[in-house]
Structure 1
């Protein structure tokens, strides 16, 4: 297919698949501009703002411009943090528009053999299959525990990689061994008077690289009075696919998750990763045009609840929580705040701990620059955004920076390492922090 034919096809699909009413909802008021990290870090480049990107999408639909590389670049540089949505007076669902546009472009984009192979492995082989995720993670575990990591660092092998990846390798958590990764619970009783029956969305990377945090999450739920069921037929939430132009694959994965959780008889489906939770909440929208699945997807999405939200609802903040005196701050997960609308609960839980001096970070809800794999594929912009975040973090003088999403956690660890603050500051997931506080007096 010629380049011209491909552009015509992309333009045709923009007209057919983009939500034109949603594009028209944008009033071009500019309220979104101060909330957009890429707009600010690009020197107020309108093409890298939500308003500018919507204008580009509409212009392609209207045939005013061609869907060229400049359009693609503008969309690629977007973090997808959705910080523009809460401040939009018209309530534009920018995240939905971004996913629609990326899907059209990437499904029609000519890919190099290397890119096609990489996307095929990641999107079709790895993340849709938890066994493959375990296999891949087991290699990382072997690297960490066999002595290879020490050798690689000693001979300077890591210097062959970009600086951000070198630092990321240093801050990765210690990954459990393969036997532990495969020996996961399916049912756990409440350890207090039973209040709720919940199903736990364990995720793919959360149940491997961050398995300790998943274990802490389930322990907290038990202490809060929850009986837990963990469906072993669940799979990756599909967020990476949905955000990267693989919507059909995301729909397949959504359907598998809906089937896995439908018969759990759970009051809620609990998540502990802001990015996953926001995508799970959107299953109703993702499958809205599928008559067979739209109602089932809506029922599934209605049950999604973040771990901080249910803990607060069950009065966990009234438990005897205590830690040594320390200054603590909180970095919002973009998708937990903007997608799941969960903002106050984590703060109230943190503030309920004796010994904690909570200091609100300036612009706490501004993206840290992680955004899934954004910090790998758009490293330069990601590091600019992280540098700004670390300035705000250091102003709090916090000993502990708390997050509610694995990507944010690694990004903040990366920032702490880059700033040379590892001896005086740590980043920790909120459930690990709360479990520390609970165990002090129990």
Structure 2
């Protein structure tokens, strides 16, 4: 830590600002900022063209370089932790494209998470944290059974035709615009009966398993994309793996970490570490780029807990994205020719967070009958970014509409993704672009499963 980090309190100072909610407050948070990481930013500007929000606005404060300068100002007590600081930190998608572009290797993703943690702690100390936030991060996501009940409620509404009726009558418009538009891209979720049929252990047919892998189900993933999880397990068994749906696992914690709720993220990480330790698997496999990036960074969440950090490092050593593991195993034997033109949209946290780029493309190209078309700017963010397309809807849609221009140029029949949020966003993009009759968005594991 730098010299500035030796102070133990941060005092925001009143300024001549018209921004509401800027009252002076004392926050013991300075130790959360890593001044070494902040000072590693050379302010070179290589990150600017890589940043979606900078490209949309042209504003320095909407760039990684600008946000790091704001963090430095807060850490050195020359700027307040005010509403303007909060807005600039949350305008960021967290796509981490800047990390790929940065010649100094600045870990921007962890910096912006820290900045948001500072913001949220300040709001809690001032008792300004929204009630809905407590519901989402404390009452829903830490409880898989509650998420499953919400999924059942959604299935019931779809089965009763309420979703269709709401669309036809215009009642859907009583929802906030982000929710009203997003629901168009939501496919029918699996029924409770279908979910109960899941085999806890799936073994390869006609051969001895070469690996025992634990399937990380995710939270929303296992409700809204249950069949994609099943497809992933089937594909892995075709590659010779025994797949175990491990009990007692929870949300990965990524949404908590990205939203400044670090304590909640750490609690979820501990639950997952314990669950997979008991399972005794060779690898921990996931099919969501965002979840995978979080799982692989668990050891960075335990700086003050050496015992948990050691356990987290063992956990992280076993984590693999499904694309990553399949690329290391013998080639799949496909039974069908798909005869389609396919393009690929990188998941930001898979490409920039985990460095996994070639493996998904190799898998797609290995499918008989596929004509693969590389998209321009395939690794630029689609605007999904967790719940960003709800919390920052207008910016998200601007980024998505630009992305769809690149998608359209490929003239593909299928756009493939490796992350559930990206998949929903691309489905919405297809609808917005009026291309429903020309193209579909498909998770890569579902595409592989079709051909197998």
What is the SS of the residue equivalent to 1:354?
coil
TM-score under structure 2 length normalisation: 0.92
Residue number in structure 2 paired with 1:259: 274
Q: Kindly indicate whether the alpha-carbon contact (under 8 Å) linking 2:12 and 2:81 is maintained by their aligned counterparts in 1.
A: no
Q: Counterparts in 2 of 1:87-236, with a 5 A limit? A: 87-109=101-123, 116-191=130-205, 192-236=207-251
RMSD between superposed Cα atoms in Å: 2.0
Residue number in structure 2 paired with 1:306: 321
Q: Kindly indicate whether the alpha-carbon contact (under 8 Å) linking 2:338 and 2:451 is maintained by their aligned counterparts in 1.
A: no
Residue number in structure 2 paired with 1:357: 371
| Structure 1 residue 180, shift from structure 2 partner | 2.9
| Deviation sequence 1:261-313 (CA, Å, 0-9, x none) | 01322221000000000001010101232122000011111111011111111
Residue number in structure 2 paired with 1:25: 40
Give the whole-Å Cα distance in 2 for the aligned partners of 1:160 and 1:111.
34
Return the match for 1:75 from 85, 89, 93.
Answer: 89
CA separation of 1:392 and 1:190: change in aligned 2, threshold 3 A:
same
Give the whole-Å Cα distance in 2 for the aligned partners of 1:174 and 1:117.
30
Matched, 1:39 2:61: no
| Structure 1 residue 355, shift from structure 2 partner | 1.2
Give the whole-Å Cα distance in 1 for the aligned partners of 2:448 and 2:220.
21
Residue number in structure 1 paired with 2:424: 410
Residue number in structure 2 paired with 1:53: 67
CA separation of 1:321 and 1:64: change in aligned 2, threshold 3 A:
farther
The answer for unaligned runs of 5 or more in structure 2 is: 1-10, 15-21
Q: Kindly indicate whether the alpha-carbon contact (under 8 Å) linking 1:138 and 1:177 is maintained by their aligned counterparts in 2.
A: yes
Give the whole-Å Cα distance in 1 for the aligned partners of 2:92 and 2:12.
28
Is 186-195 or 296-305 further displaced after alignment? 186-195
Residue number in structure 1 paired with 2:26: 9
Q: Deviating runs (4+, > 4 A) in structure 1? A: 1-8, 110-115
Residue number in structure 1 paired with 2:296: 281
TM-score under structure 1 length normalisation: 0.94
Matched, 1:346 2:356: no
| Structure 1 residue 112, shift from structure 2 partner | 11
| Deviation sequence 1:121-140 (CA, Å, 0-9, x none) | 11111111110001111111
| Structure 1 residue 3, shift from structure 2 partner | 8.6
CA separation of 1:333 and 1:321: change in aligned 2, threshold 3 A:
farther
| Deviation sequence 1:4-42 (CA, Å, 0-9, x none) | 5965424x51x2210110001101111111110001001
Return the match for 2:284 from 256, 269, 286.
Answer: 269
Give the whole-Å Cα distance in 2 for the aligned partners of 1:305 and 1:272.
9
| Structure 1 residue 120, shift from structure 2 partner | 1.4
Aligned residues, how many? Answer: 434
| Deviation sequence 1:341-364 (CA, Å, 0-9, x none) | 111000000011121111100000
| Structure 1 residue 230, shift from structure 2 partner | 1.7
Q: Kindly indicate whether the alpha-carbon contact (under 8 Å) linking 1:323 and 1:436 is maintained by their aligned counterparts in 2.
A: no
Give the whole-Å Cα distance in 2 for the aligned partners of 1:28 and 1:154.
52
Give the whole-Å Cα distance in 2 for the aligned partners of 1:316 and 1:248.
41
| Structure 1 residue 183, shift from structure 2 partner | 4.6
| Structure 1 residue 182, shift from structure 2 partner | 4.4
What is the SS of the residue equivalent to 1:329?
strand
Residue number in structure 2 paired with 1:294: 309
Q: Kindly indicate whether the alpha-carbon contact (under 8 Å) linking 2:340 and 2:369 is maintained by their aligned counterparts in 1.
A: yes
Residue number in structure 2 paired with 1:334: 348
Give the whole-Å Cα distance in 1 for the aligned partners of 2:420 and 2:369.
25
| Structure 1 residue 411, shift from structure 2 partner | 0.1
